[in-house]
């Protein structure tokens, strides 16, 4: 049965406006394709991560096998790969092509879609150069697209390039949610021995209001002089704020994760995979038992300096109304975990508090300086800290 997508509804209700949009201009046949840059030849200290084959999920005993495979990673590493997630490489590469063309738009076009940083609203375009590190401006651009639900309908606009492909972007985002995020949440429930395997799924329904979003990202290439001056670190070590982050395979090295042993290792580009990392809200829901992994993006190896680093990401988050107290789980009860907050905190409050810091370097610098010990209170007694090289 064919279902009407939000985008289809949109296009039937805005015929007059859409008719001026020249869809053919943005057809893939008329867009120069994104080509994956070559991998580095340098020998880096690569992280060893498990790969979950999601094809096994629906087989007899598959969920239990995958949960077993994941158990160590989600408690101690926080990063793993998934493969066979039900999107073709062509569909993935089409999204990379859209990302490439989006970031090639003139600044004044992108500026029409700029984030409302002061309101901690990350949907839209985040321009490069907002953060200064080692006396250099960052080279990171982001375009975030919210969920395709009634809560966001008409609230955010996209340039024609993306408008022409919205049904496909909607399909792509929803597929990631249903084929990757929800199955992973059931695996987490199995690991936590929750009586209801769908408990976490029910806090991540697509239709209900939450801050999940799909992201195009670009780390623009720099000249050798600029790379040399950038001091080896593009981004600070951080944890992501949601449930899980899905990061599509792209070949430019740079992503590193902080191990339990205090060492940083590089995440390699495994063909056909999505890299997944656990983030803060799932950690909060388990009193820190599931690991929100610390990671950062550093300057790529020199043989990749001449390439842009293009990213496709999906950020999953619980419903805004979810309260971030530890779940009632035999595993968590036995471990004696406690809430990480001094009072009940909802996801909506959490997202706003952390995004305020992430989107506003001026506010963040002041707040980090307050304690003077390399930590900052994000909300209700929960502190983030700086992770130095
Ligand atoms: O680009 C990457 O590899 C990771 C990006 C990241 O950590 C983030 O956007 O939170
Ligand atoms: Fe991150």
> pLDDT for 109-137, tens place per residue?
999 999 999 999 999 999 999 987 767 78
Q: Which atom of ligand 1 lies at the shortest distance from residue 215's CA?
A: 9
- Whether residue 28 is contained in a domain is answered as no
Contact 187, 63 (CB under 8 A): yes
Is the CB–ligand 1 distance for residue 297 below 6 Å? Answer: yes
- Whether residue 148 is contained in a domain is answered as yes
**Entry field: residues in the chain:** 389
How many angstroms separate the alpha carbon of residue 374 from the centre of ligand 1? 22
Task: Determine which residue's CA is closest to atom 5 belonging to ligand 1.
Answer: 297
- Whether residue 7 is contained in a domain is answered as no
Contact 258, 237 (CB under 8 A): yes
Of 213, 204, 266, the C-alpha closest to 40 is 266
Confidence (pLDDT) at 9: 42
- Whether residue 172 is contained in a domain is answered as yes
| Number of domains the chain is built from | 1
| ipTM beyond cut 0.95 | yes
- Whether residue 121 is contained in a domain is answered as yes
- Could you say which DSSP state residue 155 is in? T
Helices 6-13 & 166-176 angle (0-180, nearest 10)? 160
User: What kind and span of H or E run contains 140?
Assistant: strand 140-146
Contact 256, 326 (CB under 8 A): no
- The CA distance from 73 to 257, in Å, is 13
- Whether residue 17 is contained in a domain is answered as no
Q: What CATH number did the domain enclosing 170 receive?
A: 2.60.120.330
Helices 89-103 & 166-176 angle (0-180, nearest 10)? 120
Is the CB–ligand 1 distance for residue 240 below 6 Å? Answer: yes
- Whether residue 296 is contained in a domain is answered as yes
Task: Determine which residue's CA is closest to atom 3 belonging to ligand 1.
Answer: 255
How many angstroms separate the alpha carbon of residue 7 from the centre of ligand 1? 28
The whole-angstrom distance between residue 137's C-alpha and the CA centroid of its chain comes to 22
What range defines the domain where residue 185 resides?
42-385
Task: Determine which residue's CA is closest to atom 8 belonging to ligand 1.
Answer: 240
- Whether residue 146 is contained in a domain is answered as yes
Is the CB–ligand 1 distance for residue 311 below 6 Å? Answer: yes
How many angstroms separate the alpha carbon of residue 349 from the centre of ligand 2? 19
DSSP 297-349: EBPPPGGGTTS-EEEEEEEE--BTT-B-SPP--HHHHHHT---SSSS--BHHH
Task: Determine which residue's CA is closest to atom 10 belonging to ligand 1.
Answer: 240
Confidence (pLDDT) at 10: 41
Confidence (pLDDT) at 1: 38
Question: Hey, how many other C-beta atoms are within 10 angstroms of the C-beta on 326?
Answer: 20
- 10-residue mean pLDDT profile of the chain (389 residues): values are 45 47 91 97 97 98 98 97 98 98 98 96 95 80 98 96 97 98 98 98 98 97 86 76 97 95 94 97 98 94 96 98 98 98 98 94 92 94 87
């Amino acid at each position: 049965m064919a279902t009407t997508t939000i985008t289809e509804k949109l296009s039937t209700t805005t015929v007059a406006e859409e008719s001026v949009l020249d869809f053919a201009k943005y057809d893939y046949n008329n867009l120069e394709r994104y080509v994956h840059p070559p991998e580095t030849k340098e020998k880096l200290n690569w992280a060893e991560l498990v790969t979950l084959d999601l094809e096994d999920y629906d087989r007899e005993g598959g969920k239990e096998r995958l949960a077993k495979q994941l158990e160590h990673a989600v408690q101690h590493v926080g990063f793993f790969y998934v493969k066979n997630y039900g999107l073709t490489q062509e569909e993935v590469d089409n999204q990379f092509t859209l990302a490439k063309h989006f970031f090639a738009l003139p600044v004044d076009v992108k500026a029409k879609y700029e984030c409302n940083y002061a309101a901690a609203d990350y949907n839209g375009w985040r321009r490069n150069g907002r953060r200064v590190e080692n006396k250099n401006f960052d080279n990171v651009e982001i375009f975030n697209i919210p969920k395709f639900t009634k809560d966001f309908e008409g609230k955010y606009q996209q340039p024609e390039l993306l408008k022409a492909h919205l049904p496909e972007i909607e399909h792509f985002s929803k597929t990631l949610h249903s084929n990757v995020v929800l199955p992973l949440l059931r695996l987490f429930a199995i690991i936590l021995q929750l009586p209801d395997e769908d408990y976490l799924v029910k806090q991540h329904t697509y239709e209900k209001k939450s801050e999940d979003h799909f992201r195009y990202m670009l780390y623009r290439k720099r000249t050798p002089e600029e790379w040399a001056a950038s001091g080896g670190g593009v981004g600070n070590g951080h944890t992501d704020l949601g449930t899980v982050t899905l990061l599509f395979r792209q070949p430019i090295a740079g992503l590193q994760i902080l191990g339990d042993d205090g060492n940083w290792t590089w995440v390699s580009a495994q063909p056909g995979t999505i890299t997944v990392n656990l983030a803060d809200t799932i950690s909060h829901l388990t009193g820190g038992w599931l690991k929100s992994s610390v990671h950062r993006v550093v300057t790529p190896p020199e043989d990749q300096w001449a390439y842009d680093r293009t990213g496709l990401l999906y950020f999953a988050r619980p419903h805004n109304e979810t309260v971030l107290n530890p779940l009632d789980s035999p595993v968590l009860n036995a471990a004696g975990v406690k809430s990480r907050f001094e009072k009940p905190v909802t996801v909506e409050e959490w997202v706003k508090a952390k995004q305020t810091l992430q989107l506003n370097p001026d506010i963040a610098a002041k707040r980090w300086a307050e304690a003077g010990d390399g930590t900052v209170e994000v909300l209700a007694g929960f502190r983030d800290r700086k992770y130095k090289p």
